[in-house]
Amino acid sequence: MASAQVETVSTGADKLRLAVVALLVVGGLVAYYLLAPQGSLIRWGVLIAALVLAVVVFFTAESGRRLVAFGRDSWQEVKKVVWPTRKEALQTTAFVFAFAVTMALFLWLTDKTLEWVMYDLILGWRK
């Protein structure tokens, strides 16, 4: 049996970019809390700027480019899906609802029957 091997090649520059992303996220959070005496506009501005910069840096790394390619491929696959018509969706929903009600009634009847057998017939607690 042959096993497929997945190789991930990550250059030093990509690792450095990911480290910068992590530092930007942590730095933005730290700055948000350190700037507590400042106005909330400055705090939120610094946090959002750091997060946006982190996203930009992430998408320049190989991991970010692979994520974009995955999203593009996923969108192409979603376009291939044959979605049900309104009538089919309503029929399927009605069937599922009817099945759930039927099962609820069946389980309720089974529970009440077992309760009657156990408590009334076997143990005689309800007389």
pLDDT tier at 126 (50, 70, 90 boundaries)?
Answer: low
pLDDT tier at 122 (50, 70, 90 boundaries)?
Answer: confident
Number of H helices and E strands in the chain, helices first, is: 4, 0
Give the whole-angstrom CA distance, residue 41 versus residue 39.
Answer: 5
Instruction: Pick 108 or 37 by higher pLDDT.
Output: 108
Compute, in degrees rounded to 10, the torsion defined by CA atoms 33, 34, 40, 43: -90
Q: Under 8 Å CB-to-CB from 46, ≥6 apart: which residues?
A: 28, 31, 32, 35
- Average pLDDT over every residue of 103-117: 96
Residue 37 one-letter amino acid: P
Give the whole-angstrom CA distance, residue 83 versus residue 74.
Answer: 16
Question: Which pLDDT does position 39 carry in this prediction?
Answer: 87
Q: Which parts of the chain are beta strand (E)? A: none
Percent of the chain having pLDDT more than 90? 77
Give the whole-angstrom CA distance, residue 96 versus residue 92.
Answer: 6
- Average pLDDT over every residue of 3-26: 81
pLDDT tier at 123 (50, 70, 90 boundaries)?
Answer: confident
Helix 12-34 with 40-60: angle, nearest 10 deg: 170
Q: Quick check: 25 and 51 in contact, CB under 8 A?
A: yes
Q: What is the pLDDT of residues 70-90, one digit of tens each?
A: 999 999 999 999 999 999 999
